[in-house]
Amino acid sequence: MSFSELGLDAALMRAIEREGYTTPTPIQAKAIPEVLAGRDVLAAAQTGTGKTAAFTLPLLQHLLTNPREGGKAPRILVLVPTRELAAQVGESVVAYGRDVTVKHAVIFGGVGINPQIDRVRRGLDIIIATPGRLLDLTGQGVLDLSKIEILVLDEADRMLDMGFMPDIKRVLKQLPAKRQNLMFSATFSPDIRGLAEGLLTNPVSIDIAPRNTATQLVDQRAIFAEKADKAGLLGFMVSRGNWKQVLVFTRTKHGANRLCERLEKDGLTAAALHGNKSQGARTKALAGFKDGSVRVLVATDIAARGIDIENLPHVINYELPNVPEDYVHRIGRTGRAGAVGEAISLVAHDERGYLKQIERLIRQTIPVFVIEGYTLNAKPGTPGEADDRPARPPQRQGQRRPNPPGAGPRPQGRGGRGGPVKPQKSAEHLKGMSRKVH
């Protein structure tokens, strides 16, 4: 399947060429013809599969082939869970719609409402919004949703996780009954299925990535590390691997701040991205990360939704998420659209249960590696984890910690299955730092 077979307007074909896309991704090949045919679509597609273009391109095509009959009210509504995702969809509309006369607005909370009101009053074709601020605007009588022809619910699973269900219902009540609906979700809980049943009419189901399966292109690793050693280990890997762009996940906002401070102390440029940061600080952190002035971006799960950075090479789970599905979302930040990426999880002793849950969900065993020169603190009596060397403090960045004479790196056991290690070829991506233990 090539883009030229999709029947898209020349203006959109030029945009596709400008973006450097040669072939549609599987979700694009399947969804674009259905959306153009006016069908409702239920798509299971994770982030990184090209799903944004899969709906943005046919939305633009719809506007081109069906000119507005009058009025100023928006014709297409894209509902998203986070500001970052809203901004990213907005960027896609700009990129693909450069040669199309289309007016769009990106609407989210946490910033002044007045410029958004002005924007809406001037007239819109596409509105991309998080539910809360959208309802503020309709509540103030500024925004009329009665002319919506197509509704897109993007990352519907995350919207429900974030408690947006009541808001979504309030938005739906304001939409005309006759409209086309597109729903995208990475996972399909019973709640999501319920929402889809109420929302979609005779939908086409498109299932791209097998459900809850981590992207095959992501090289996944786990490293067992004590909590106290993780910051030093992370700094060591970033410096030693000469990694330029690393996205690190922590479970909490405070954890993100603390880790940033520590990395900065170790001489690495780092910024935190989480919900307590002002919109300005979040935009600045993201811009710095994209232009290379921030080497390590430390984010919480919710804040990281919607971050789109092409070919992000390294994702680190500084702490494993306690919701296994979040692991899939996190590692979806790398290995996007055909690029190979790697995701490394630093797993403390009390996180091994989470690792097991994740492995069950993705139906894969994540290989465990050791970093040469780093050792796991002994947990007396735990089979396979004994290490008679004293734990050493994490080293300062830039220096490789030497192995003490006669105490070469020891295998790390895994759930009591530790044992002698056959040396294996070093993982290329860790630049000789690590070796597999099973």
Give residues in contact with ligand AMP (CB under 6 A).
21, 24-25, 28, 47-53, 308, 310, 336-337
Residues 6+ apart with CB under 8 A from 118: none
Specify whether the CB–CB gap between 438 and 417 falls below 8 A: yes
Residue 27 Cβ, how far from ligand AMP at the closest point, in Å?
A: 8
Q: How far is the CB of 174 from ligand AMP (least distance, A)?
A: 27
Provide the minimum distance between the beta carbon of 51 and ligand AMP in the complex, in angstroms, as a whole number. Answer: 4
Residue 337 or residue 407: which is nearer to ligand AMP going by CB? 337
Nearer residue to ligand AMP within complex by CB, 47 or 334: 47
**Minimum gap (Å) between residue 28 Cβ and ligand AMP:** 6
Q: What is the smallest separation between the CB atom of 268 and ligand AMP, expressed in angstroms?
A: 25
**Closer residue to ligand AMP, CB minimum distance, 27 or 347:** 27
Which is nearer to ligand AMP, 52 or 250 (by Cβ)?
52
Please say which residue, 57 or 77, places its beta carbon nearer to ligand AMP: 57
Least separation in angstroms between residue 297's CB and ligand AMP is 16
Minimum CB distance to ligand AMP smaller for 48 or for 74: 48
Nearest-approach distance from CB 313 to ligand AMP, in angstroms: 14
